[in-house]
Amino acid sequence: EPEVTQTPSHQVTQMGQEVILRCVPISNHLYFYWYRQILGQKVEFLVSFYNNEISEKSEIFDDQFSVERPDGSNFTLKIRSTKLEDSAMYFCASSYFIDSNQPQHFGDGTRLSIL
Amino acid sequence: TQLLEQSPQFLSIQEGENLTVYCNSSSVFSSLQWYRQEPGEGPVLLVTVVTGGEVKKLKRLTFQFGDARKDSSLHITAAQPGDTGLYLCARGSSASKIIFGSGTRLSIRP
């Protein structure tokens, strides 16, 4: 079964450094998402992306965050100047339709640790 | 804010026992989803319930959507160690965004 893949599985970065998290969504999916999960807390929506544009973003997704689909397969999340509180699991997801009843398929996440 | 409250937060039971976990809100939803998340992995969709009163079965798991579409339950019959994980209910908040509950962490002791 096709799956969403994320790399790296674990990223350790010094505070203030830039980090790029990478995702390869399922190949025929059109809608892409990033979520994060701080240790012991809920999975939280960050951003959705369609047709090379952000569709929706949360208040967490401030100017330090950006997303890009640089080619036909990758979907990236960049954090420009990382803070300690950015430490979390970051999940990429994709779906074929954009509909609140349609399933989003999640990757296994990147654990980001900011020192 | 349309929160999803899940209970209990933690549940540890013996293999072979039955259990029920709950997902509640003060708001009406068009649909509700249940996910399971295992350590080191992303959430995996188990089921989507759409109609008030709907019951869906997935092997030993039974999902029910409340008549008023404000709550849902997940019942596991004869729990097995493989059922261990974090169970999340979730709803679509907009066309693109999923809002997750805080989850029930289930541990099944052999």
Chain B residues within 8 A of A50 when measuring between CB atoms: 96
Alpha-carbon distance A34 to B72, whole Å? 26
Which stretch of DSSP H or E encloses residue A97? none
Residue B78's CATH number: 2.60.40.10
CB B83 within 8 A of CB A87: no
Distance from chain centroid for Cα A54: 12
Residue-range definition of the domain harbouring residue B59: 5-109
Pairing of strands B5-7, A105-106: unpaired
Alpha-carbon distance B9 to B104, whole Å? 5
For the cut 60, the answer to whether the pLDDT of residue B97 exceeds it is: yes
Q: Cis (ω within 30 of 0) for the bond into A8? A: yes
| CB proximity list for A79: less than 8 A, separation 6 or greater | A18, A19, A21, A64, A65, A86, A112
Q: Give pLDDT, residue A100.
A: 60
Q: Give pLDDT tens digits for A40-71.
A: 888 999 999 998 999 999 999 999 999 999 88
Instruction: Choose, out of B28, B37, B98, B102, the residue to mutate when testing the contact with A (most A CBs < 10 Å).
Output: B98
CB B108 within 8 A of CB B84: yes
For the cut 80, the answer to whether the pLDDT of residue B91 exceeds it is: yes
For chain B, give the mean pLDDT. 91
Number of domains in chain A: 1
| CB proximity list for B3: less than 8 A, separation 6 or greater | B25, B26, B101
Q: Give pLDDT, residue A32.
A: 94
Number of domains in chain B: 1
Residue A82's CATH number: 2.60.40.10
Q: Which of B92, B97, B102 sits opposite A42 (nearest CB)?
A: B102
Chain A residues within 8 A of B98 when measuring between CB atoms: 35, 45, 100, 104
Q: Give pLDDT, residue A12.
A: 97
Burial class of residue B10 (count of CB atoms within 10 Å of its CB; 0-12, 13-18, 19+): exposed
**Given strand B55-58, what is the order of strands in its sheet?**
B5-7, B19-24, B71-76, B61-65, B55-58
Residue-range definition of the domain harbouring residue A75: 5-98+107-114
C-alpha closest to that of A107 among A20, A3, A2: A3
**Alpha carbon distances (Å) from B64 to B58, B61, B72, B94:** 11, 10, 5, 22
- B11 DSSP β-pair partners: B106
- B49 DSSP β-pair partners: B32
Least confident range from B13-22, B32-41, B76-85: namely B32-41
Chain B residues within 8 A of A100 when measuring between CB atoms: 30-31, 91-95, 98
**Alpha carbon distances (Å) from B32 to A59, A81, A103, B69:** 23, 36, 11, 8
